[in-house]
Amino acid sequence: MIAYDKLKAHRFEPVVQSYTARDCWLYALGLNIGADPMDPAALRHAASDSPEPVVTMPMMLGRPGPWMQDPEVGIDYRRIVVGEVGLRLHARLPPAATLRADHSILRITDKGAGRGALVTLLRRLTDTGSGRLLAEYEQVTFCRGDGGFAVDGRHDPAPPPSSWTVPDCPADTVLDLATLPQQALIFRLSGDYNPLHSEPEVARKAGFERPILHGLATMGMVGHALDRLSRDSGGPGLASLRARLTGPVIPGEVLRLAVWHEPGSARFRTVDGSGREVVGLGQAEFQNVD
């Protein structure tokens, strides 16, 4: 069971990580960028000697390691999934750099016995050379086996519910995003080794018929598609996004991204081949990022 006081007081050592062109290529391939090896826009991420990092790559940089496995915090690590993510870019990543990541726990919310708990972590990525803040990443982890810990009422209230609704008109843009059967095995090489995404027996014990795609791979594909959609039309590109991961993705499925454009922003959602939503409450902002 979650130990609220110990978890809320958890202090993270700064994470210093260097990445190179190889890491940029690998992350892009883990999003199935380069499926068309003749696409120059894809190759600038997946093959260029001086690659342009995919806009969502900060989500996978400076990770704090498997800290949720620490028995003292009381989280059932085998049953965690990414629930919601938010990314704000302050600068475009260079092709290679050394970054410092600082982490803090923002909220620990008990949804109730049998309903799980939410742990919200903030990561700030800074370039160690210039000291410049490059990105802020917020992740809400859904701890499916840890609801009911707040027997004394000690927990943090959830943020107000989103007012997001599906617009009552057809999407302005609809894109199909193909995933690969082996995509989770490629994406995990960018640093997320949760066996839920690679070991069939672990996936079955967690209630899935087979290993599922990483939530951050799904969000990476969606974020990249939104960024490319803006830039291909002469726009500034993605500056921020926020969305909820509402359903698992089975590697090999084709996802459908629906986008409703607004001045300087967009709303979006993604469904799988059966029409089941896998990404919801999506909001994106577009502006020039140095």
277-288 pLDDT tens trace: 999 999 999 999
When pLDDT is cut at 50, 70 and 90, the band that residue 161 belongs to is: confident
Does residue 192 carry a catalytic annotation? yes
Q: 131 in a domain, yes or no?
A: yes
Instruction: Decide if 249 contacts 218 (C-beta within 8 A).
Output: yes
Residue 68 lies in a domain: yes
Write the single-letter amino acid at 256.
R
pLDDT in tens, 199-215: 999 999 988 999 999 99
Report the range of poorest mean pLDDT among 45-49, 142-146, 151-155, 217-221: 151-155
Check pLDDT > 90 for residue 166.
Answer: no
pLDDT of 158 reads 83
The answer to whether residues 58 and 93 touch, using CB atoms and an 8 Å cutoff, is yes
Q: Give the integer Cα–Cα distance in Å for 176 and 253.
A: 10
Q: Show the domain range for 98.
A: 4-151+164-286
Residue 156 covered by a domain: no
The answer to whether position 158 is within a domain reads: no
Find the radius of gyration of the CA atoms of the chain. Answer: 19
Q: Which pLDDT value is given to residue 113? A: 92
- Residue 215 covered by a domain: yes
Which member of 192, 214, 261, 272 is catalytic?
192
Domain with residue 127: its CATH number is 3.10.129.10
Residue 258 located in a structural domain: yes
Active site residue 197: yes
pLDDT of 102: 98
CB distance 134 to 91 below 8 Å: yes
Band of pLDDT at residue 159, cut at 50, 70 and 90: confident
Is residue 157 one of the residues assigned to a domain? no
Tally of domains in the chain = 1
- 182 in a structural domain: yes
| Active-site residue identified among 197, 214, 224, 261 | 197
Instruction: Tell me whether strands 238-245 and 80-89 are parallel, antiparallel or unpaired.
Output: antiparallel
- Determine the pLDDT at residue 66: 84
